[in-house]
């Protein structure tokens, strides 16, 4: 088949996969399309963690009158079909049982329980397998998943708002409104798409933030607070549900149904410890919202994958300086009313390219 057709259907797989954003982690986002002689007879994507994978939903979507076409069809999948029993049976076995003759895969799954084993099952059953179709796009689709398994840490997204003079708060640290209501909704959408959201003690105490998702549909992220002495007042939002909180501290304290406390050694570098803690808890991605000191620490240690910088129009004669990123990393920009949002990628991270 012409490679352009492969790319066309794989692009559709990617579109479908994105519909699962925020709902499937710690699993990857996956889309699948079943094609018979140029006609799509089935589509599916992984909708929710713990439930049917993309290939299953794709096969299930085939109408009764088209089911006899399945063995002669080609299934396109953005990620290698799984080969192990987890919360659901292996998708590679499903493809074999449905007698689908050809499988086109966007990228190989480097997760150790799959890592080529799905392809091996297919080939051993006589299935024709083509790989590497829109591979870069398929890897980027699941950059969080790949970073987590290949680098043993969450995918890190830095986010802050600043005014045109580069200030992100008043000189005394008092928070000021910088972004507009449309940008606020976008930020809450970002929260719904990530597993965790992180702030330091100064932000927790000065802002009394909720760090939940109020202006968009979807779940709340895990609220992660770096608080060495548990300085955050107990009547603040971060100690209350229904959103869950994880405090990283050198002190222990009573936990609740929605608040966990993990002790760390603050006399040693903290970020490596934090990455290990979050990896053990299967937190695939973290949106780091501040404050300035915490953001600079992530930048100084080159421990970030994306940065999203909102520039608003609120004037400040002086204030807390926002972190600075090399402008050569500018990837994209978007204007919402008066706000400018710059998106950066860490060019040193191979998993992003």
Residue 353 lies in a domain: no
* Band (353; pLDDT cuts 50, 70, 90): very low
pLDDT band at 352 (very low <50, low <70, confident <90, very high): very low
Whether 264 and 329 share a structural domain: yes
Closest CA to 141 of 331, 283, 14: 14
Average pLDDT across the chain, whole number: 91
> Is residue 260 assigned to a domain?
yes
Asked which of 126, 148, 170 is the last residue of a domain, the reply is 148
Same domain, yes or no, for 218 and 294? Answer: yes
Q: Please check if 107 is assigned to a binding site.
A: no
**CATH number of the domain to which 138 belongs:** 3.40.140.10
- 178 and 129 within one domain: no
Burial of 93 (0-12, 13-18, 19+ CB in 10 A): middle
Mean pLDDT of 262-276: 97
53 assigned ligand-binding residue: yes
The pTM for the full model equals: 0.90
Residue 82 assigned to a binding site: yes
Q: What is the pLDDT of residue 250?
A: 97
Residue 327: pLDDT band by 50, 70, 90 thresholds? low
Would the pLDDT of 83 be above 80? yes
| Mean pLDDT calculated for residue range 73-82 | 96
pLDDT of residue 251 exceeding 80, the answer is yes
Distance of CA 143 to the CA centre of its chain: 7
> Based on the domain organization, do 169 and 184 belong to the same domain?
yes
Query: 122 and 137 share a domain?
Result: yes
Q: Which residue has the higher pLDDT, 85 or 349?
A: 85
My answer on whether 144 and 157 are in the same domain is no
Residues annotated as catalytic are 55
Domain match, 131 and 160 both: no
C-alpha span between 299 and 307 (Å, rounded) = 10
156 pLDDT more than 60: yes
- 211 assigned binding-site residue: yes
The predicted-structure confidence for 11-55, as pLDDT tens digits, reads as follows: 999 999 999 999 999 999 999 999 999 999 999 999 999 999 999
Burial of 336 (0-12, 13-18, 19+ CB in 10 A): middle
Examine the fold and report which residue of 101, 118, 148 is the final residue of a domain before the chain moves on.
148
Identify whether residues 33 and 165 lie together within a single domain: no
Same domain, 68 and 216: no
Q: What is the DSSP secondary-structure string of 128-193?
A: EEE--TTHHHHHHHTHHHHHHHHHSS-EEEEEEEEETTSEEEETTS-----S-HHHHHHHHHHHHH
Please indicate, yes or no, if residue 246 is contained in any of the structural domains: yes
* pLDDT given for residue 174 in this prediction: 74
- Mean pLDDT of the region 170-194: 87
The predicted structure's pLDDT at residue 339: 85
On whether residue 68 sits in a domain, the answer given is: yes
In the listed set 110, 128, 148, which residue is the last one of a domain according to the structure? 148
* Tally of structural domains, the chain: 2
My answer on whether 188 and 93 are in the same domain is no
**Interval 298-324: pLDDT, tens:** 999 999 999 999 998 777 778 889 999
- pLDDT on residue 351: 43
Contact by Cβ (8 Å): 331, 345: yes
As a whole-number percent, the residues of the chain with pLDDT over 70 amount to 94
**Residue 225: pLDDT over 90:** yes
Q: Cα separation of 103 and 343, whole Å?
A: 35
Asked if the structure places residue 296 within a domain, the reply is yes
Asked, for residue 264, whether it belongs to a domain, the answer is yes
Answer whether 259's CB lies under 8 Å from 253's CB: no
Question: 141 a known binding residue?
Answer: no
Distance between CA atoms of residues 39 and 248, nearest Å: 53
352 in any annotated domain: no
Tell me which range, 89-93, 157-161, 164-168, is most confidently predicted by mean pLDDT.
Answer: 157-161
Please indicate, yes or no, whether residues 335 and 221 belong to a single structural domain of this protein: yes
Tell me whether residue 351 is in a domain: no
pLDDT in the model for residue 16: 98
User: Which residue would you say has higher pLDDT here, 31 or 331?
Assistant: 31
Range of the domain at 137: 3-148
Q: 91 a known binding residue?
A: yes
CATH number (domain holding residue 281) = 3.40.430.10
Q: What is the pLDDT of residues 238-248, one digit of tens each?
A: 999 999 999 99
How many whole angstroms from its chain centre is CA 257?
Answer: 25
Residue 105 and residue 179 in one domain: no
| 345 annotated ligand-binding residue | no
CB-based contacts of 170-175 (< 8 A; 24+ apart in sequence): 170/316, 170/319, 170/320, 171/318, 171/319, 171/320, 173/202, 173/206, 173/320, 174/206, 175/206, 175/207
């Amino acid at each position: 088949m012409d490679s352009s057709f492969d790319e066309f259907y794989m692009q559709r797989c990617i579109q479908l996969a994105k519909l699962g954003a925020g709902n499937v982690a710690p699993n990857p986002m996956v889309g699948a399309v079943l094609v018979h002689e140029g006609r799509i007879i089935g589509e599916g994507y992984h909708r929710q963690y713990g439930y049917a994978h993309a290939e299953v939903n794709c096969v299930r979507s085939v109408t009764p009158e088209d089911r006899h076409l399945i063995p002669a069809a080609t299934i396109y999948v953005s990620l290698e079909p799984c080969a192990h029993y987890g919360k659901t049976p292996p998708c590679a076995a499903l493809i074999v049982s449905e007698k689908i003759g050809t499988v086109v895969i966007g990228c190989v799954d480097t997760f150790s329980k799959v890592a080529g084993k799905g392809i091996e099952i297919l080939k051993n059953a006589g299935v024709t397998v083509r790989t590497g179709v829109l591979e870069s796009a398929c890897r980027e689709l699941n950059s969080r998943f790949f970073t987590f398994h290949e680098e043993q840490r969450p995918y890190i997204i830095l986010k802050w708002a600043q005014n045109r003079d580069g200030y992100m708060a008043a000189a005394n640290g008092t928070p000021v409104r910088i972004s507009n209501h449309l940008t606020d909704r976008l930020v809450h959408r970002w929260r719904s798409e990530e597993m965790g959201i992180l702030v330091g003690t100064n932000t927790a105490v000065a802002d009394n933030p909720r760090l939940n998702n109020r202006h968009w549909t979807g779940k709340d992220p895990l609220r992660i607070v770096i608080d060495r002495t548990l300085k955050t007042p107990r009547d603040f939002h971060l100690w209350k549900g229904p959103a869950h909180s994880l405090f990283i501290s050198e002190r222990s304290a009573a936990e609740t149904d929605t608040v966990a406390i993990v002790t760390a050694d603050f006399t040693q570098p903290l970020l490596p410890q934090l990455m290990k803690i979050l990896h053990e808890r299967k937190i695939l991605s973290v949106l780091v919202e501040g404050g300035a000191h915490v953001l600079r620490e992530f930048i100084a240690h080159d421990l970030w994958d994306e940065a999203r910088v909102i520039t608003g129009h609120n004037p400040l004669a002086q204030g807390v300086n926002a972190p600075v990123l090399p402008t050569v990393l500018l990837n994209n920009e978007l204007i919402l009313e008066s706000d400018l949002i710059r998106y950066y990628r860490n060019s040193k991270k191979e998993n992003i390219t």
